[in-house]
Amino acid sequence: MWNPEMETLPRSELEKIQADRLRKAVARVYHNVPFYREKLDQAGIKPEDIKSVKDLRRLPFTTKQDLRDNYPFKLFSVPQDEVVRIHASSGTTGKMTVVGYTKGDLAVWAEVMARTLGCGGVTNRDIVQIAYGYGLFTGGLGVHYGAERIGATVIPISGGNTKRQLQIMQDFGSTALACTPSYALYMAESAPEQGISLGDLRLKVGFFGAEPWSNNMRKEIEAVWNIKAIDIFGLSEIIGPGVSSECLEQNGLHVWEDHFIPEIIDPATGEVLPYGEKGELVFTCITKEALPLIRYRTRDISILYPEPCLCGRTHMRMNRVLGRTDDMLIIRGVNVFPSQIESVLLEIGETEPHYQLIVDRDGNLDDLEIWVEVSAELFSDEVRKLEELGAKIKREIMSTLGISARVKLVEPKTIPRSEGKAKRVVDRRDVYIR
Ligand code: DLL
């Protein structure tokens, strides 16, 4: 364990810490962020009304739309000269979700990531190969600072270049791998082509997250790599990776509750649900300085389990993510909303307003195909024109969303019509199975 004292703190003491930090966090946002002052005033709540964690449910929610409305920095709770880092992830319609960190936030992030890596047994004797993307995405740098905090040897290779990943893993003797679960499977599949035998590597543990994966996928990863596969969860708005992590018991993910308070709500009514019930995960940041979000609705579906864990950690566990309450897809680690693809198509304006996204796994890599209807005239026109339009859409999708997609232009009325909500997505990957 990285921080045994805090990770095994009796719940009564943990709750005292939470209450104290929650009070301070609410006062901080009330005084520093006009958005929160207005929201609390509207709800008739003063910071002094918040005395214990039970009072949390009186506070209003924060949503992704709120971040969008306050783009890019208006929800920040400190002056810009105290913000030392920015990250971002894709938002619902074009604009990014922007998050900021103070020096103190980076220290908290390194701490919770050190605990996360400690959950899988990483120490300063380990060599951690970080194959999450570096850059605006929180995966690479998040794991990086946690591994450095532990004193492990870090290989900041970032994502992609599979041949080099495998070569380095073999030559440098990496003992821990951090990447998306689908990339771990893809890497495994590529190893034989390079004459690398996974059984001969020193790898013993992997930290996989940033996208949904099933227990069957875990079994497959553990079997082909001969490692323990640990599920790690987080989202940029809360801190990045390091919100929660499985321990070696692999029976739910410990939420680092001295920094983030979890709740489960009924997504339709907003009512808080009892522990053990399935609903939408909501987090409150109680130590963040730059962007301390209050009751942030994640749209992720899970369950909370407060019972103690066999590993000795007292921090509550959440179920692996069971689904989403919105239509967000995660394609090769990138969050994609169908509405973003729709706005690219509308902007180009040379297609009909009927499209469908077909998401599948090609081997172990996500594959996105976009079907778009074009007018009968265009369809019966020269093939070259169609090809040009297809290439243009592909290029625009790549430049706005950063993902590659295959584009298939089809005749009018090819895409099934529906009487209610159009079925924009056909996802054949089955990743949310328990
Ligand atoms: O994906 C942070 C992260 C990086 C987590 C590396 C783990 C490892 P975002 O890009 O903001 O942040 O995406 C957050 O990804 O709301 C979930 O829907 C999904 N997600 C993240 N981890 C998991 C997981 C990072 N272990 C969104 N299982 C979240 C299922 C996950 N879904």
> What distance in Å separates the CA atoms of residue 188 and residue 365, rounded to the nearest whole number?
12
* CB of 252 sitting under 6 A from ligand 1: no
* CB of 298 sitting under 6 A from ligand 1: yes
Query: Does the pLDDT at position 117 exceed 70?
Result: yes
Query: Does the pLDDT at position 434 exceed 50?
Result: no
Q: Which of the four pLDDT bands, split at 50, 70 and 90, describes residue 94?
A: low
The residue with greater pLDDT, 141 or 423, is 141
Q: Which of the four pLDDT bands, split at 50, 70 and 90, describes residue 111?
A: very high
Q: Ligand 1: distance of its center to the CA of 380 in Å?
A: 44
> What distance in Å separates the CA atoms of residue 321 and residue 97, rounded to the nearest whole number?
21
Fold of 1-327: Rossmann fold (3.40.50)
For domain 329-433, give the CATH number: 3.30.300.30
* CB of 280 sitting under 6 A from ligand 1: no
Query: Measuring from atom 18 of ligand 1, which residue has the nearest CA?
Result: 300
For residue 253, give the ligand 1 atom closest to its CA: 26
Chain-centroid distance of CA 140 in Å reads 12
CB 428 within 8 A of CB 368: no
Q: Ligand 1: distance of its center to the CA of 278 in Å?
A: 19
Q: What is the pTM of this model?
A: 0.92
Least confident of 65-74, 303-312, 325-334: 325-334
Chain-centroid distance of CA 179 in Å reads 12
Q: Which two tokens stand for residue 125?
A: 């004797």
Q: What is the pLDDT of residue 92?
A: 61
Q: Which of the four pLDDT bands, split at 50, 70 and 90, describes residue 97?
A: very high
Q: Ligand 1: distance of its center to the CA of 208 in Å?
A: 10
Q: Which of the four pLDDT bands, split at 50, 70 and 90, describes residue 93?
A: low
> What distance in Å separates the CA atoms of residue 100 and residue 145, rounded to the nearest whole number?
16
Query: Does the pLDDT at position 79 exceed 50?
Result: yes
Q: Ligand 1: distance of its center to the CA of 27 in Å?
A: 29
pLDDT tens, position by position, 255-268: 999 999 999 999 99
Q: Ligand 1: distance of its center to the CA of 332 in Å?
A: 12
- φ, ψ of residue 241 to 5 degrees: the values are -65, 155
* CB of 231 sitting under 6 A from ligand 1: yes
Q: Which two tokens stand for residue 432?
A: 């949310």
Q: Ligand 1: distance of its center to the CA of 321 in Å?
A: 9
* CB of 212 sitting under 6 A from ligand 1: yes
The residue with greater pLDDT, 34 or 182, is 34
**Bridge partners for 235 per DSSP:** 240
The average pLDDT across 91-100 equals 80
| Domain assignments of the chain as residue spans, ordered by start | 1-327, 329-433
Kindly list the distances between the CA atom of residue 315 and the CA atoms of 261, 274, 299, in Å, as whole numbers in the listed order: 10, 17, 22
Evaluated on CA atoms 352, 354, 360, 365, the torsion sign reads positive
* CB of 335 sitting under 6 A from ligand 1: yes
